[in-house]
């Protein structure tokens, strides 16, 4: 790879660059590599394939995070065991895998809607979750076994659930995990006008990755969840359900007084489409969200 060219292009686009690394190769030359990355202006590293939790590996996590902090580099621990408190020690620690995430759609049928609405009550309690959301190629659970593949994979949940993950799943470093061609209605290079974006990409473009306040409004383990998160004066809501569709009534009592412009993206006529609506609400009102089987919804409430 021509790293100088990549870095120049990214700088021109006002984009920071992360690099994806194999942990053992980094360990062989950690100081030299991190020093070089700092000189290049690399913002973070995604370190992968550790796949162990023995004493040597636990020590490696601390060694890596300490060295990266010295060089002002953020870290994503991928191929990792579940979190055990590192987020309280290292400010450059962003997120950690330690979860059966979206990549498992390539070779298994285990990433079900039930699995997705179990994670917030189990794994996510431990710390940020590098699930890698953003699957925009959808199949029903009945059709999924015939469509499962490693290249351009499908997910067995709806577009509404894909959006909701960006609110429900907690990770200061989020991903847009699918191939670029998946996010456009037409072929050809990016950038594309918004009229050619796939349904829901406008929400993902706008949703924050860090939050000032969080409320779990409703939910039941393995059944459904509704999360509300505040960024500044604006609120974002993500709702996800298991294989059972459901209609939810969400009181807006968590809002401050005043009027809010409310935009809703919820499941449409097919698993790959969305119904988008706009209204004005107050904290005395309630939202009604209709979630398809294996579906979800995302909401933005902006203070007027």
Q: Which residue has the tokens 């162990």?
A: 52
User: What are the start-end ranges of the H helices in the chain?
Assistant: 3-12, 23-28, 30-40, 55-70, 113-116, 144-147, 159-168, 201-206
pLDDT of residue 190: 84
Return the half-sphere exposure (C-beta side, CA atoms, 13 A cut-off) of residue 12.
6
Active-site residue set: 48, 103
CATH class of 100-304: alpha beta
Question: Measured between alpha carbons, how far is 75 from 256 in angstroms, rounded to an integer?
Answer: 36
Question: For 55-94, what is each residue's pLDDT tens digit?
Answer: 999 999 999 999 999 999 999 999 999 999 999 999 999 9
Name the residue ranges covered by the structural domains of the chain: 17-98, 100-304
pTM comes to 0.95
Question: For 111-125, what is each residue's pLDDT tens digit?
Answer: 999 999 999 999 999
- Termini Cα distance of the chain: 47
Question: Measured between alpha carbons, how far is 246 from 248 in angstroms, rounded to an integer?
Answer: 6
- What is the pairing mode between strands 296-303 and 260-267? antiparallel
Question: For 16-34, what is each residue's pLDDT tens digit?
Answer: 999 999 999 999 999 999 9
% of the chain with per-residue pLDDT over 90: 96
């Amino acid at each position: 790879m021509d790293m100088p060219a990549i870095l120049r292009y990214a700088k021109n686009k006002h984009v920071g660059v992360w690099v994806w690394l194999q942990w053992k190769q980094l360990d062989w030359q950690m100081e030299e590599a991190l020093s070089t990355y700092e000189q290049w202006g690399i913002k973070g590293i995604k370190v992968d394939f550790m796949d162990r939790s023995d004493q040597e590996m636990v020590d490696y996590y601390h060694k890596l995070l300490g060295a990266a902090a010295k060089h002002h580099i953020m870290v994503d621990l991928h191929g990792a065991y579940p979190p055990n408190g590192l987020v309280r020690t290292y400010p450059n620690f962003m997120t950690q895998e330690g979860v059966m995430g979206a990549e498992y759609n390539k070779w298994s049928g285990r990433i079900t809607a039930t699995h997705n609405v179990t994670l917030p009550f189990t794994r996510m309690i431990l710390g940020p979750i590098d699930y890698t959301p953003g699957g925009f190629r959808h199949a029903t659970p009945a059709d999924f076994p015939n469509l499962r593949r490693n290249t351009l994979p499908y997910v067995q949940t709806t577009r509404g659930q894909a959006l909701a993950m960006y609110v429900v799943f907690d990770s200061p470093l989020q991903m847009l995990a699918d191939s670029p061609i998946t996010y456009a209605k037409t072929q050809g290079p990016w950038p594309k006008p918004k009229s050619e974006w796939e349904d829901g990409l406008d929400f993902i473009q706008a949703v924050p990755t860090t939050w000032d306040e969080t409320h779990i409004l409703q939910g039941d383990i393995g059944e459904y969840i509704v999360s509300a998160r505040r960024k500044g004066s604006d609120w974002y809501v993500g709702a996800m359900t298991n294989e059972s569709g459901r209609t939810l009534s969400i009181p807006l009592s968590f809002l401050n007084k005043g009027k809010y412009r409310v935009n809703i993206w919820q499941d449409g006529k097919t698993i790959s489409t969305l119904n988008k609506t706009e209204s004005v609400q107050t904290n005395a009102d309630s939202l009604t969200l209709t979630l398809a089987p294996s579906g979800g919804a995302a909401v933005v409430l902006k203070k007027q």
